[in-house]
Each structure stands twice: as structure tokens, then as C-alpha cells.
Amino acid sequence: MERIREAHDDVEPVLISGNIGPRGDGYVPGERLSAEEAAEYHSHQIQTFADTAADMVTALTLNYAEEAVGIARAAKAAGMPVVLSFTVETDGRVPSGQSLGDAIAQVDKATECYTSYYMINCAYPTHFEDMLAGAGSWRERVRGVRGNASKCSHAELDEAEELDDGNPIELGEDYGRLKEYKPRLRVYRGCCGTDHRHVGAIAIACLS
């Protein structure tokens, strides 16, 4: 990553993110950590990133607020900016059953809004599009989306025997509707099941 950044030193800024995931299953909360346990668990990896050329930490596929709080606290202790990305179910709620807005509010309150911004990942755009369109200041904290190729629920994907790569063109079109929320949304990427076809369609729809 450092070599890539050096090769494009005429582009500003080029950031390197150290990515981490939840301790457990990204789809199922399972045994939950307290905020204190999560901070201790994730602190070693976050400090490792802090000792490298990484500019920030991004935590993906989080499914309950307490682990997100712990990650934010560990990042703050290491002096690293952090982005927290929650996965959501087909109803737009995080897998713990909490609304995304409540989860973000809980993390911000417990960490004095240390998180640089939030993202949504590992869900199809139609699962959360209506939620982004509603009212509430927490929506201003959501700056990125990483959608799945498939419209299936997490439970359906867990049971699937073959990869569902969806329809790249349709995914791009569904992403295109999210442009309504610019300039708030700044990061558009693919998640599970996506490849260069999906990312290309997303780029055409959102960045043209």
C-alpha cells in the first residue's frame, strides 16, 4: 500500500486504512463483548496499525453497539482516526435488533463522537435506502455504503450453496438513487459477492 501511495503522490489525499472485523460472526451477534472487553480485545491490532504507515482504522461488519464503542475507545487510545461500519438486516436494523440510528447515537454518546464517520456494509441498498431518506441528525454521520451483490437476507446467504452475484447493472442503478444524499455520502464500494463488474457499475452510477 505504501508503494501504491508513493506511485500516486500527485493525488491528494491517498489514505491507508487498517481494516478489522468483529470478534465473532459478522451476521450474528452471538456472545457479546462489553465495551471494556471490546476495547481490550481490539487494542492490540489497532496499536499495530498505529505503529505502521496506516492513516486510519476501519471496522467492518459490526452488529451491536457495545463492540463499536470498544473499538472507538481503543482507536482513540492509539491516536488513530476510526470509521465504524454496521451491517444491517433487510429491515434496516443492526443484527442485534437495535435501530441503526440508536446504535450510532449510543456509540457517539459513549465516545464523545470520536468516530470520524459511519458506514453501512454487507446489505443490499434497498435494505437501507428508505432509512437514509428519513429524518434524524444521526444520518449526517453516515458517509459511506458497501452493498452486497445479493438481495438475500443474511440467513439466506448463510444457507446458500452457491454464490449469488446478483445483477451488477441493477446494483449500480440502485446505488445511483443514493446520489440524492450527496455530499453526505462520499464512499461507495462493494461488499459480499461483488467484483469488478459491480464496482464498475457503481462507479458509473454514483461518480459520473
Average pLDDT over residues 57-85: 97
CATH of span 2-207: 3.20.20.330
Position with higher pLDDT, 70 vs 177: 70
Q: What is the DSSP letter of 52?
A: T
pLDDT given at position 47: 97
Q: Which of 27-36, 45-54, 174-183 has the lowest mean pLDDT?
A: 174-183
Task: Mention every residue, 6+ apart, whose C-beta is less than 8 A from residue 102.
Answer: 65
Q: Are strands 142-147 and 187-190 parallel, antiparallel or unpaired?
A: parallel
pLDDT band at 94; cut points 50, 70, 90: very high
| Per-residue b or e along 33-57, where b marks 16 or more CB atoms closer than 10 Å to that residue's CB | bebeebbebbbebbeebbeeebebb
Position with higher pLDDT, 135 vs 92: 92
pTM of the model: 0.92
Whether 4 shows a pLDDT value over 90: the answer reads no
Position with higher pLDDT, 150 vs 133: 150
Whether 183 shows a pLDDT value over 90: the answer reads no
Picking from 100, 107, 185, the residue whose alpha carbon sits closest to that of residue 143 is 185
Name the CA dihedral angle for 109, 112, 116, 119, rounded to a multiple of 10 degrees.
-10
Question: Which spans in 8-64 are helix H?
Answer: 35-50
From residue 4, alpha-carbon distances to 1, 15, 52, 58, 136 in Å are: 5, 11, 15, 19, 39
Whether 158 shows a pLDDT value over 80: the answer reads yes
Contact 56, 80 (CB under 8 A): yes
Q: Which of 5-9, 59-63, 144-148, 167-171 has the lowest mean pLDDT?
A: 5-9
Preceding omega of 183 cis (within 30 degrees of 0):
yes
Position with higher pLDDT, 208 vs 189: 189
Show the cell assigned to 1.
Answer: 500500500
Q: Please give the Cα distance from 107 to 64 (Å, whole number).
A: 10
Strand arrangement, sheet containing 142-147: 17-20, 56-62, 82-87, 117-123, 142-147, 187-190
Q: Please give the Cα distance from 174 to 127 (Å, whole number).
A: 11
Q: Are strands 82-87 and 142-147 parallel, antiparallel or unpaired?
A: unpaired
